[in-house]
Amino acid sequence: MVTFMSGLEFWKSTFKGFQDAGKLYGIKTVYTGAQQFDINQQVSVLEEVIAKKPAGIAITAVNGKALAGPINKAIAQGIPVVVFDSDSPDSNRNIIVQTGNESAGRVAADTLAKNIGSSGEVAVLYVAGTPTLEQRAAGFKAEMQEKYPNIKVVASGNYSGEQMDANKAAAGIIQANPNLKGIFAGNSPGALGAIVAVKEANKKNQVKVVGFDADNSLLDAIKAGDAVATIAQGSYNMGYWSMNFLFQEKHELMNPVDGWKKNGINPLPSYVDTGVNIITKDNADLFYTKK
Amino acid sequence: MVTFMSGLEFWKSTFKGFQDAGKLYGIKTVYTGAQQFDINQQVSVLEEVIAKKPAGIAITAVNGKALAGPINKAIAQGIPVVVFDSDSPDSNRNIIVQTGNESAGRVAADTLAKNIGSSGEVAVLYVAGTPTLEQRAAGFKAEMQEKYPNIKVVASGNYSGEQMDANKAAAGIIQANPNLKGIFAGNSPGALGAIVAVKEANKKNQVKVVGFDADNSLLDAIKAGDAVATIAQGSYNMGYWSMNFLFQEKHELMNPVDGWKKNGINPLPSYVDTGVNIITKDNADLFYTKK
């Protein structure tokens, strides 16, 4: 498994899934990656991995275009490649395993609607220019419009992705919309920022917060009742199913049509949405990352 | 595996995938379904299947709302259920395994663009009111608009789904658009109808046809050069991966979080697009259904 920002908490659960599936099949799993958010570094790491001729590679691409070359090189050498989380759509990869952010945003909308009683004014916090957060916000708005005629998304707050900035954006929205009943923030720092803004405005009983992702500090906030829920990506699923796809392709266990392999027929699904879990006070304890 | 219109050629390949994966794990597979496109009949069949307490059920739903009840009953009894092809979104199913029709339409657009040289006028034939064909047409149009600035979709022809009617729609479009260079038809009879219309207009060298699905008669037409390609659904993949998901959930091989099962955490991906294959003269022989 090759990642970028390889120290990120998020990947631990992904690699755990990869390992668990590997154990089923007696496969040795190795975790590596670029320590930084650095294109050249990840290209180098992937080149080194290819040189070791592994039985398969699961990779999340810091930059889809830059990684396409080495991904195609691996595939040309007969090494099965699964791309997970961050895609390299222009490469010759057969499959992408990731969170469907648009549908995750819809789950966030359903969760907030349930908590505010299906009517009233709500807002969304997102990061312009970051596709995953834009897609979550778009899914949130689409779901509200299609399913909840009595809920109005009155504000879309753009923030940098950091807590302080989300705090400011949320405070402005709360002030401008005195009847606001809910906020969905597209990442974990955003949710923490919104929570602080709601507290500062003394509106904890009026404005419900739904977050995204599951840092331990956000889980604490949920248990304290400061946010009603957060939407957690299926990070374990990404690793677990990536291994299953690699293993089965490598050993050619399937036979979609006779001669599939030499004719370049994809034996794998083309796209897998690993889904989300709705974390609330009731199940938050399950999701803490052990230190 | 429970289907509707259980005699359909399409399901043969799906069940073959289900069987192949079942053999890997030593699982007995049984195929059944409603012979007709009949809601009550499929509900009855599913009820009978549940009564036999199988280790898992893969089902395609003739009607998502009507099947939700019995699907939920199976799940409540602890029987893992995978829904494939035709969804039952309001049920408590954990996963849907199907063709992403919007992305399949995009593949059709790329295929047609490649064959007409990335510029000129094209048309699409679809069936209004049939979501799968509407999604294919929408994906086709979106891809043309986003990726091919010199290709214009000049007509959208609505037909009943039958060959004769597609023939009429295509003939009208060809007559009204003398410069037409290509037609994408959203199902196999539609492609066959378009092929006849192109021949009747003596425009075989000018108007390229891309179809959808892979009946033997359409494969014959591709080999004869009457259509340049057809986009075939991953019907085998649907069955193959449905079995893998059922087996792994049943035996709880994964562990996304400790206590996932009793806490209702979904251990499966939420959505799987089983992808498509582009069938041309070069690989058509692989896709014939054996009688």
Whether B151 and B123 have beta carbons less than 8 Å apart is answered as no
Position B291 confidence tier, pLDDT thresholds 50, 70, 90: low
What's B173-211 look like in SS3?
Answer: HHHHCCCEEEEEECCHHHHHHHHHHHHHCCCCCCCEEEE
pLDDT at B124: 98
Position B177 confidence tier, pLDDT thresholds 50, 70, 90: very high
Nearest CB partner across the interface for A274, out of B240, B255, B269: B269
Q: Residue A142's Cα: distance from chain center in Å?
A: 19
Q: What is the pLDDT of residues A197-213, one digit of tens each?
A: 999 999 999 999 999 99
Which chain B residue is nearest to residue A239, measuring alpha carbons? B256
Quote the CA–CA distance of A83 and A59 in Å, as a whole number. 5
B2-99+234-274 shares its CATH topology with B101-233: yes
Position A291 confidence tier, pLDDT thresholds 50, 70, 90: low
Position B74 confidence tier, pLDDT thresholds 50, 70, 90: very high
∠ CA B167-B171-B175 to the nearest 5 degrees?
A: 175
Nearest CB partner across the interface for B287, out of A17, A254, A257: A257
| CB-based contact, B30 to chain A, within 8 Å | no
Angle between helices A216-223 and A188-200 (to 10 degrees): 40
Contacts of A267 in chain B (CB under 8 A): 237
Count A/B contacts: CB-CB distance under 8 Å. 113
Note the ipTM here.
0.93
Q: How many helices (H) and strands (E) does chain A have?
A: 9, 12
Q: What is the pLDDT of residues B121-170, one digit of tens each?
A: 999 999 998 889 999 999 999 999 999 999 999 999 999 989 999 999 99
- Topology of the domain covering B2-99+234-274: Rossmann fold (3.40.50)
**pLDDT, mean of residues B214-235:** 96
Spatial CA neighbour of A274 closest among A140, A82, A127: A82
**pLDDT, mean of residues B68-84:** 97
| CB-based contact, B220 to chain A, within 8 Å | no
The residues spanned by each domain of chain B are: 2-99+234-274, 101-233
Encoded tokens for A62: 């810091």
Position B184 confidence tier, pLDDT thresholds 50, 70, 90: very high
| CB-based contact, A19 to chain B, within 8 Å | no
Quote the CA–CA distance of B33 and B42 in Å, as a whole number. 6
Which chain B residue is nearest to residue A15, measuring alpha carbons? B256
**pLDDT, mean of residues B188-205:** 97
Edge-first strand order for the sheet with B271-273 is A32-34, A2-4, A57-59, A81-84, A96-98, A271-273, B271-273, B96-98, B81-84, B57-59, B2-4, B32-34
Nearest CB partner across the interface for B272, out of A258, A272, A287: A272
Contacts of B239 in chain A (CB under 8 A): none
**pLDDT, mean of residues B78-102:** 96
Could you say which DSSP state residue A290 is in? Answer: P
In this complex, do A269 and B286 lie within 8 Å of one another by their Cβ atoms?
no
pLDDT at B92: 96
In this complex, do B269 and A97 lie within 8 Å of one another by their Cβ atoms?
yes
pLDDT at A289: 80
In this complex, do B275 and A287 lie within 8 Å of one another by their Cβ atoms?
no
Correct CATH for A101-233 of 3.30.70.3400, 3.40.50.2300, 3.40.50.1010, 3.30.70.260: 3.40.50.2300
Question: What share of chain A in percent tops pLDDT 90?
Answer: 95
Three-class DSSP category at B273: strand
